[in-house]
Structure 1
Amino acid sequence: MNTLLVKNGEDAMIVLETRGGKFAGVIRDPGFHLIAPWKKAVSRLTTQTFNSIDGIGAATQDKANIVVSVAMEFQIRDAEKYHCAAKQPYDEAVKEIRNAAKEIVSGIGLAKVWEDRAYIARKIHAAAAPVLAEKFGLAFEDINVQQISLSSHCMSAPDAALNKILADAAATPDIVADAMDKGLEAGISIRKPLTLRKRV
């Protein structure tokens, strides 16, 4: 028999498989655990994760190219579904959030994106949460828009078309000037990222 240890206060679970590669349960409780010979530990999952996704390129409804970064929090609620969802379930979950962000931004004008990041975050959460739960067994707890910036193309060549986008969206001169000067940047502090999946 093999022995595994889950430390007190450790926010993790150990996933077990049969020797044939089928899901065989998880170990959550602290302490030493004996593992039957026909089972093996294949990964140690952090049950709750705080992380960020940078560089989500998207085009707004009025065709302004922007880059969005978000801070997110989710928990594993169904370990079997998460473990069996994909070879790299964390990467696939992040891809779903990226896709949701792009789709949401594509239906909103630049001025709205700039003025109300909380609204953008709520829309992304509403779109991605059901998918993460259904596909990966994840509870999408929270998301914040950490940063929004004009793409390097827009910043290197801010032409009349971009100014018209902002003007047509009823943006004030102060917002236009601030957007162009700062690249629409506005950051918030987030907690230190954690690794969701680690081989053992």
Structure 2
Amino acid sequence: MKFTSLFMSAVLSALCLPFMAYAATPAKSAPKVWQQEPKSFLGLTFESASVAALPQCRPVTLSAPNRTEMCREESYSTDYYSLDGLPSLGLAYHQTLGVKVAGAQVEYFYLSGSTNDFEKVRQLFTEKYGPPTSSAAPVVKTKVGATFTNDTLTWQGSTVQIVLERYSDDINTFGASINNLKVTAAKAGEAASELKSNASKL
């Protein structure tokens, strides 16, 4: 009887072990897809032709101090443009948009404005693009020693990444970078190849 009982216990254990091992292995979850990943920003696509098609900005005058349509400021650079006449976003302060192009593609859009509008911009971006993929609050220190918490929100997709910071160039300015990851990856590859080539000369 004792042998039979031990035998049955061994059989049951053998049968249960595979199940227990399987149950203990967590199922791999599929990568989360960013459903609201954009193909454009403020009406401009990630093709540089959409920026080139904008009219040149007219001079600002006392009778017409505000530009009512999006336009390109005169630029002395062939790959970076400042745009004005942006559509109203309901912000309290003025905002600017810079665009860096790389050949036929836009490398990134860069929206900036008053830090006082940061919370409103956070709400706008969350409404448009959904909850951020990640967030952080690093502490930044000014030259005079004052410290601030720099709220940083990131939306990460397969082709686009958005990074919104409470403080960008300084403590008075928020910044939002809308990055074309295809261009970023291509430039990273070129930089790695150049580094390898230069290192081979040592």
- TM-score, length-scaled by structure 2: 0.23
Q: Which has the higher helix share?
A: 1
Name the structure, 1 or 2, with higher relative contact order (CA <8 Å, separation 6+).
1
Which has more radius of gyration?
2
